[in-house]
Amino acid sequence: MASAEPASEWLQQDSRRMLHAVYRVGDMQKHIDFYKLLGMKLLRQRDIPDDKYTNAFLGFGPEDTNFAIELTYNYGVDSYDIGEGFGHFGVALPDVAAAVEKIKAGGGTITREAGPVKGGSTVIAFAKDPTGYMWELIQRPQTKEPLCQVMLRVGDLQRSIDYFTNVMGMKLLRTRDVPDHKYTLAFLGYGPEEDNCVLELTYNYGKTEYAKGNGYAQVALSTRDVYKTAEQIRAAGGTISREPGPVPGIGTKVMATMDPDGYKWVFVDEDDFNKELEEVPKEEVPEQQ
């Protein structure tokens, strides 16, 4: 095992980025249609009949620069238990009211109409996708990363902040305590909130555990070296749930860790990820209309 000193140095030297969120859905085409109402594009799609599943990747920009969502449809499974831990995904849009009307016109479900957030002035709305995942629509000026948040509920906010800063290498961007509604928020990420997807942690007063369900899976992040990252995480007291190494049949090197609340995070070798994107078969890339 590497000593803590070089492992700590690697945390400062590494270049990390949130790549995509992975979760399971019950009807692939319905979800693709719904996310297009939000303004996303279908980036690529692949079917793995031998293992009886299909993946689709959607986002607002190319995967080598932007955050994306990776949907998994398992043959014959039409519903999932989302659980209590996963909260929502966030999308920054210039006109939330117009987005709400577009979603309604397209047959989507709005659970909160457009209006100012409680105790503030930012206009938000909430939509529910076909499987039941919640999407917060946040009114913001034009941004290069509209897919802006992954919200997870945690049982000990300071413990989670310490983990994501000291172990995962994120920066604490801001916190917000809302005592009237008995919750506290913390926003963390690898870059400014205005131009990057960030992690939003929610601590509800007195709630220490959440049922995870079987829908939401993980977030993938980039690293320059999965082996050094595994050493760094161990040295910082983190838990390795998958040892670093190549994925069988693909070759991309990955490693995985579990955070204190049991959420899974997968680090992906940056060069391998970009090579994987370059080698995507043409049949997996849809024609954009």
Please tell me the distance from the alpha carbon of residue 286 to that of residue 283, in angstroms, as a whole number: 7
Please tell me the distance from the alpha carbon of residue 59 to that of residue 65, in angstroms, as a whole number: 11
Q: Write down the catalytic residue from 5, 9, 101, 136.
A: 136
Laid out side by side, the sheet with 86-93 consists of 109-116, 123-128, 134-139, 86-93, 147-153, 198-204, 183-189, 171-178
Angle 259-263-264 from CA coordinates, rounded to 5°: 90
- Burial grade of 250 (CB within 10 A; 0-12, 13-18, 19 or more): exposed
How many other C-beta atoms can be found within 10 angstroms of the C-beta atom of residue 125? 21
How far is C-alpha 100 from the chain's CA centre? 22
Kindly report each contact of residues 114-117 with a partner whose C-beta sits within 8 Å and lies 24 or more positions away, as own/partner.
114/139
The verdict on whether 136 is a catalytic residue reads yes
Q: Which residues are catalytic?
A: 136
